Every structure is written in C-alpha cells, then in structure tokens.
Amino acid sequence: MIVKNKYSGDQFVELKDSNLQDAETTLNKAKKAFQAMRELPSFERYEALLRVSKELENRREEFARIIANEAGKPIKYSRGEARRASITMLFSAEESKRIYGETIPMDVESRGRNRFAYYNRVPIGPIFSITPFNDPLNLVAHKVGPALAAGNSIVNKPASLTPYSGYKLNELVNNSGLPENAMQTVIGPGGGEVTNFFLNSDEIKKVTFTGGIEAAEKLIKKAGIKKYSMELGSNSPVIVWNDADLDLATDAIVDAAMESQGQNCIHSQRILIHKDVYDDLSKRLVEKVAKLKVGDPLDDSTDVGPMIAEGEAIRVEKEVNNAVSQGAEVLVGGKRQGRFYQPTLVAKVKHDLSLWHNEIFGPVSILQPVKNFEEAITMANDVPYGLQAGIYTNNLDIATKAIQRLDFGAVLINDTSDFRVDVMPFGGMKLSGLGREGIRFAIEEMTEIKLAIFRK
C-alpha cells in the first residue's frame, strides 16, 4: 500500500503487506531479540527510550503531519498526539528503572522458620500488539514503551488504514541503541493470516489489543491461553448537575464530543443534564458546535476533519437517521458529505436504540435531561461499557456518591470523560476491556513475578 495524504498530495513510502513467510521471520527475530532484551540493564533501556522520546519531540511537526495525513485528525490535535507520544516514551524510560520487587516474611508460620524470600518482576517474552487508527502514534507508543521498558521484545500490527505512524516510530526504536529487532512492525489486514500466525503462536506470551468487542472475542478464541490486555472502547456519559459551572462544562463537552471526529474511546457520547439547566446548557452547546470548522485536517483552523473512511461516515449517518425515524431530534449537524460528517447533537433518543446503547465512534453526542440523581446514575450505567465517566458539580456529596455508584474505570469530577494523562491506570469495567494501560500498570501486566526462597 502507499500511504498518501488525500489533501496535499504528500506521498511517503510504499508499505507492502507482510506475508506468512515475513511473519515467521519476524517471530524468529523477536525470540532472538527477547534473549538480548532480558539481559539488558535497566539503565540502558532507560537511555534508549529517552533517545526515542527526545527524537519524537524534536520531530513533532513531522509526526503530527503524518498523523493528520493518514488519519484525517486536524493538525492542531495531531500535534498534541505527537507530543503525548514523546511523553509516553519518556515515562516508559523512567519506569524502566522502577520495576521493583519486595521481600516476603516466610516466618509467619512454623513451616517458614529459617527461610527468607523475595520476589522480582521479570519480562514475559515476545509480545504481539494490535493498534487502532484513531491515535495511530500514541497508542502504538502505549504498547511499545512499556514492553521495551520491561525488557520484552514486541511485534506491532498497526491499523491497515494508518500504518505509517507506527512504522516511523519503529525506525526511531531501531536507532535508539536497543538490541536489534526489539521492536518490529508487520503490515496487513486485521484477521488475516499474518495476524492469525502471531495469535496462534505459543512463542507469543502476551497479546495487547485496542479495538472493538467483536474483534476481541475472535482474537481470544484464536490465541487461546495467553496473557491479554484489551482496551475495547466505551459509550461514555457526562452528568451536568444543576450547580455546575456551565461555562467550564460547555467548552469541555464540545471538545470531548467532537475532537478526532468522535473517533475516540473516551468520547463523551451521552450528556445527562439536570432538568433545571437543560435548556440553558443545550443552547450553549448547540451554538458552540455550530461554530466548529469542518475541513482539511492540515489547515490550522480546522476543528473537525474527515472520518477515517466514507463507510464509517455512512454508518454514523444511518445511526442518526434511524434515531430520527424513531422520534429523535437533530439539534445541530446531522448531514454527511463523503467522509465528512457534521458535528452533531441529538435529543429525544430512545434508550433501546443503538445510538444510545452502543458506541457511535463518530462526531455525535446525545443530550438528555435528568430529573434527579438516581435517574442520572441509572441512565449513565445503562450501557454494556464502563471506561470513563464525568460529572460536573460543586456538591461534594453528589461527587462522592457518583464515584461510588458509576460503574466506570475512572470517574472525573468537573471534567468530561475525555481526559487522560499517560501515567494513570487506564482501562474499564464491563465490556470496556481487560487489564489496565498507563506505563507502570502496563509494565506490571508485561512482566511476571519470580519468587526466590532461601533456607538458612
């Protein structure tokens, strides 16, 4: 395939799909690289990952342009992603020096007399990662950084529509001073023979995946007994209480709803607004969304770019149109032109519809009035996902009750669901995934505990 900017005509390199022979060679290289990585002192892993971080920062504009070219993400947000990838690799470097163990008191009962024990964490082995299109650089970094920091080798398969960001990150890793082939990249469709080869291999000790639930179910059935980390998206709510700062809430909700064309696992999809402020906040949100500029992602003034493919824009269009046919009301947007779908707010959506219940993964959010706290919590939890949720309130009692009652991996107070600092434990409840990302937490899942017991 040729990765080519659809707007300016920029052309990068030809990336050919990997074949089964390539996959076998890659796995053999990963096994050999792991033997070198596991012996590498942590200070050398630190220094190498620090070089990658610095190079990403020095070449931020280049990487931002790559992201905007292949993913359609507006350049101002692509710059943010490139910076975050640099920080992710920096945190990975730092955490490579903090992989601790501890002693175990064996004399807690008589059989442990005259025994001393400690455990440490050791790298698990070659890892296979599968990364999505929506953050084609930073989500690769979130797999690769911790894997290398922990002393593993890793093979990454980026999304077929956005392979170049991960490919270029691989180049930086190759030049960092780490053992040869510590990171490798395979190109090709998800579910193809190359992907299946790595999933089926007993030599792959862990699979880390970001994507959809259906793909995850197929993946687990193919891969069998291995360690897994899976981030499977969400349908995130934001509750706005009647004492909220509406100026603060308005700006943040619009960003959370429309950034990256809503193609974001922590996209704020359902905005649950206390009835006392519903009319006021709805008007503010509609006015702000209507002012967003839709257009060329390489234009600094663009707020919303094209979706990843026209088929995705058509899917979103069908979801909204179906809701409208069932009585929903489009407050702003609701139109498609090719790959572009206008930023859209919808009201009066029935709760048995897909638009309410499932992840839309597009620039669409639902506005829903709520009468009381119980109704807000019930509606917020009324989906099969549980990644992140937000609530705007200045009432400490309401905030603490929301933390207790919301079935989500993270609850953000006076913020939307769409916030992440790359050191935090990131992951969800219910169908939103298995395990946690965030550098230290990912390293824990990419290592195994080895216990040593001494008898005096």
- Contact assessment for residue 199 and residue 207, using Cβ atoms and an 8 Å cutoff: yes
CA 453 to chain centroid, in Å, comes to 39
For residue 338, the Cα-to-chain-centroid distance in whole angstroms is 26
Q: In whole angstroms, give the CA distance from residue 390 to residue 380.
A: 10
- Please tell me the predicted confidence (pLDDT) of residue 189: 86
Residue 113's Cα: distance from chain center in Å? 48
Q: Which of 85, 88, 72, 147 is nearest to 298 (CA)?
A: 72
Token digits for 440? Answer: 């230290």
Question: What sign results for the dihedral spanned by CA atoms 180, 170, 439, 92?
Answer: positive
DSSP summary character for residue 17:
P
Residues 251-291 pLDDT 10s? 999 999 999 999 999 999 999 999 999 999 999 999 999 99
Domain with CATH 3.40.309.10 in the chain: 236-421
CB 408 within 8 A of CB 387: yes
Q: Pick the catalytic residue from 55, 265, 312, 317.
A: 265
The predicted model scores a pTM of: 0.95
Closest residue by Cα to residue 70 from 297, 231, 233, 267: 297
Contact 418, 259 (CB under 8 A): yes
Contact 448, 245 (CB under 8 A): no
- The count of residues in the chain is 456
Do 308 and 161 touch, CB atoms closer than 8 A?
Answer: yes
Q: Residue 12 has what pLDDT?
A: 61
CATH homologous superfamily for the domain 236-421? Aldehyde Dehydrogenase; Chain A, domain 2 (3.40.309.10)
Structure tokens at 93: 């470097």
β partners of residue 209: 130, 230
CATH 3.40.605.10 positions along the chain are 2-232+432-455
- Which residues, in sequence order, are CB contacts of 199 under 8 Å at separation 6+? 128, 207, 219, 222, 223
User: Residue 175, Cβ neighbours under 10 Å: how many?
Assistant: 12
Active site residue 231: yes
Known catalytic residue at 94: no
CA angle 30, 81, 47 (to 5 degrees): 50
Which of these, 300, 276, 304, 280, lies nearest to 290 by C-alpha position?
304
Burial of residue 236 (CB within 10 Å: 0-12, 13-18, 19+) is buried
Instruction: Measure the CA–CA gap between 368 and 376, rounded to whole angstroms.
Output: 9
* Domain 2-232+432-455, CATH class in plain words: alpha beta
The partner residues of 146 in beta bridges, in order of sequence, read: none
Contact of 34 with 153, CB cutoff 8 Å: yes
Output the pLDDT for position 227. 96
> How much is the pLDDT for 15?
83
Candidate list 81, 95, 231, 437, residue with the active-site label: 231
With a cut of 70, which residues of the chain have pLDDT below it? 1-13
Q: For residue 171, give Cα distances in angstroms to 2, 119, 165, 167, 245.
A: 18, 35, 10, 7, 46
